[in-house]
Amino acid sequence: MNPDHTFRLALIVLAFMMLPVLAYHRVRSQASGERLDRRQEGLFILMTLRPIGLAMWLGVLAYMINPRSMAWSSIGLPEWLRWAGVGLGVIGATLLVWTLPNLGKNLTDTVVTRKAHTLVSAGPYRFVRHPFYDAVTLYLAANALAAANWFLILTGTAVVTLLVIRTRTEEEKLALRFGDAYRAYVSRTGRFLPRI
């Protein structure tokens, strides 16, 4: 079997591990029907994050449908590194499955908090403030490495960079919302990696 088809199947399996869980929690979190003002993210994030993310996901989908459709941006990576990418995807999917039930109805795709938002400090949130972004980062790295594709590396890196930039605004909103409780939480947890 062609290695690209093997890695294509691995990425499809990873997607089927993550997407149903993500969809379930996304639908559940939007049950309130509350509208969120995404403009609070700032114009730069609004104009960049979602368009670049869409381009990246279209590239991933194209690779999953037919790896040859993304051959124009393929790069030569050793098979062990591509399999390491699959391993990162499994870790990312596992982290996502752990994160989402703890995040619960607080899940949004923006920095804005819901009216019934709570401060989450259980599960992976005991160790880091943004385990969801960690899971996304691992999954994007998995796609790029397994597909051996510079376009997915470039767009995935851009998405992660924009999420990192956006966390500053997100944390400002959370500090305004939860005050000293959030500041105490920040003092004992790392942003993306656990505090040592």
What integer pLDDT is reported at residue 128 of this predicted model? 97
Cβ-contact 146, 11 below 8 angstroms: yes
Q: How confident is the model at residue 1 (pLDDT cuts 50, 70, 90)?
A: low
Cβ-contact 163, 101 below 8 angstroms: no
- Looking at CATH, the fold of the domain delimited by 3-28+39-188 is given as Four Helix Bundle (Hemerythrin (Met), subunit A) (1.20.120)
Share of the chain above pLDDT 90, in %: 77
Whole-structure pTM value: 0.92
Give domain limits for the chain.
3-28+39-188
* Per-residue tokens: 64: 């999953």
* Per-residue tokens: 31: 């049950």
How far apart CA 33 and CA 159 sit, in angstroms, is 27
Over residues 112-125, the pLDDT tens digits come to 888 888 999 999 99
CB atoms within 10 A of CB 151: 20
Share of the chain above pLDDT 70, in %: 99
Over residues 5-51, the pLDDT tens digits come to 999 999 999 999 889 999 999 888 888 788 888 888 889 999 999 99
